[in-house]
Amino acid sequence: MTDLTDQFNRPLRDLRISVTDRCNFRCTYCMPKEVFNSKYQFLVRDDLLSFEEITRLVPLFVEHGVHKLRLTGGEPLLRKNLEVLIRELVKIPGIDDIALTTNASILTLEKAKELKQAGLNRITVSLDAINENTFKRMNDMDVSVQKVLNGIDNARVAGFESVKVNMVVQKNRNEEDIVAMAEYFKGSGNVLRFIEYMDVGNTNGWEMDQVVSGKEIIDRIQQKFPIEPADPNYRGEVAKRWRYQDGSGEIGVITSVTQAFCQDCTRLRLSAEGSLYTCLFASTGTDVRRLLREGASDEYISEVIASLWKSRTDRYSELRGKNTDAIHKVEMSYIGG
């Protein structure tokens, strides 16, 4: 295996695979209804990479250093038989961790058990509020908090030791839920992570003054529950860890806006229709589905991946605001976060 690095000496380590661009939520910061409505052209079945195509591609990424996979979307649990894909991915030598990011609203106990048995290692659930009205306003599809909490419980019962819970924080939207969410998950064994609202895509109308900084989030929690910084679990960990001084667990803060971490970014993203993106804020992808369907050899596709990573210079979050405003960016629901 060659240790492939990009123009800033960052190795390729993680691959995020989007398995669908569809979702049963319309989170206002991700898929606003004004855009993602009945007129929106979602991908159709033939557009999507098949499980066989994904399984053929993954070893080519492993050759270049990938050892962690994350399945995402849209809502990945809308892709039928996801456990069948996971069963194939775990067999690939060199893959030592497979995670899933989901809104958990359709994560039944049966599904959670199937995913666990297939070999899924970890589940991250997105939940933006514990207050019913706030959550319904944010998902914009009238989905109740309890549905997501049931999904989290199902994951735990199925054997996932701890679930990470992601909360995107937006000013004047769910700020009041910062402490309430901390209180709810404190002592549960699940790890709540606060994410600064990002300017991904072109549809959410992002403004800097809607961002609640990681510092402000920590200050708010500190006032109610004493916390102290904890060491990262590994170099380049995206979330900054804080632990409750009373020993009842930890939280994380992902400061993608106020303290960018591009220098440690080791992720490549594969869209549901088979395009590769080297940054969450990229505007164009590299079409590997075409290569697959036109009969390109593994060697050739492997070279394409290597040259894409080697020429990578992405550091959007570090440059944010400096001539980045006019860039047409790919949507989060398409690329998977």
Q: How far apart are CA 306 and CA 286, in angstroms?
A: 12
**Contact flag: residue 317 with ligand SAM (CB under 6 A):** no
Q: Six-digit token pair at 227?
A: 């916390």
CB 267 within 8 A of CB 18: no
Radius of gyration, CA atoms only, the chain: 19
Q: Which of 126, 154, 275, 302 binds ligand SF4 (CB under 6 A)?
A: 126
Nearer to ligand SAM, 285 or 337 (CB): 337
Bridging pattern class, strands 97-102 and 286-287: unpaired
CA–CA gap between residue 137 and residue 140 (Å, rounded): 5
Site of tokens 């994951």: 155
d(CA 4, CA 194): 31
Give the whole-angstrom CA distance, residue 54 versus residue 277. Answer: 15
Q: Which is nearer to ligand SAM, 174 or 266 (CB)?
A: 174
C-alpha 265: how far from its chain's center? Answer: 14
Structure letter (DSSP) for residue 17: E
Q: Would you count residue 101 as binding ligand SAM (CB under 6 A)?
A: yes
- Closest by Cα among 174, 179, 165 to 132: 174
Considering the rule CB under 6 A, would residue 19 count as an interface residue with ligand SF4? Answer: no
What is the rounded (10 degree) CA torsion for 322, 327, 332, 336? -90
Task: Report how far residue 258's alpha carbon sits from residue 211's, in angstroms, rounded to the nearest whole number.
Answer: 9
With CB under 5 to 8 Å by kind, the binding choice for 317 among ligand SF4, ligand SAM, none is: ligand SF4
109 scored as a contact of ligand SF4 (CB under 6 A): no
Q: Which part of the chain contacts ligand SF4 (CB under 6 A), choosing from 88-96, 143-151, 174-182, 279-287?
A: 279-287
214 touches which of ligand SF4, ligand SAM, none (CB within 5 to 8 A by kind)? none
170 binds ligand SAM (CB under 6 A): no
200 binds, among ligand SAM, ligand SF4, none (CB under 5 to 8 A by kind): ligand SAM
CB of 42 to ligand SAM, least distance (A): 14
CA 69 to chain centre: 11
Structure token digits, residue 168: 């995107």
Helix, strand, or coil (residue 276)? strand
Give the nearer residue to ligand SF4 in terms of CB position, either 102 or 186.
Answer: 102
Is residue 23 close enough to count as binding ligand SAM by CB under 6 A?
yes
Contact region for ligand SAM (CB under 6 A) — 43-51, 129-137, 195-203, 267-275? 195-203
CB of 169 to ligand SAM, least distance (A): 9
For position 316 contacting ligand SF4 by CB under 6 A, the verdict is yes
Binding residues for ligand SF4, total number by CB under 6 A: 22
Alpha-carbon span 47 to 275, nearest angstrom: 11
Out of 16, 70, 315, 329, the only residue in the binding site for ligand SF4 (CB under 6 A) is 315
Give the span between the Cα atoms of 196 and 173, in whole angstroms: 13
Subset of residues 203 to 242 that bind ligand SAM, contact rule: CB under 6 A? 204
Among 261, 291, 296, 301, the residue binding ligand SF4 under the rule CB under 6 A is 261
86 binds ligand SF4 (CB under 6 A): no
Shortest Cβ 91–ligand SAM spacing (Å) = 24
Does position 75 bind ligand SAM by CB under 6 A?
Answer: yes
Are 89 and 58 in contact by the 8 Å Cβ rule? The answer is yes
Q: Which residues bind ligand SF4 (CB under 6 A)?
A: 23, 25-27, 30-31, 73-75, 103, 126, 261-262, 265, 279-281, 314-317, 333
Q: Which residues bind ligand SAM (CB under 6 A)?
A: 23, 29-30, 72-73, 75, 101-103, 126, 166, 168, 195, 197-198, 200, 204, 332-333, 336-337
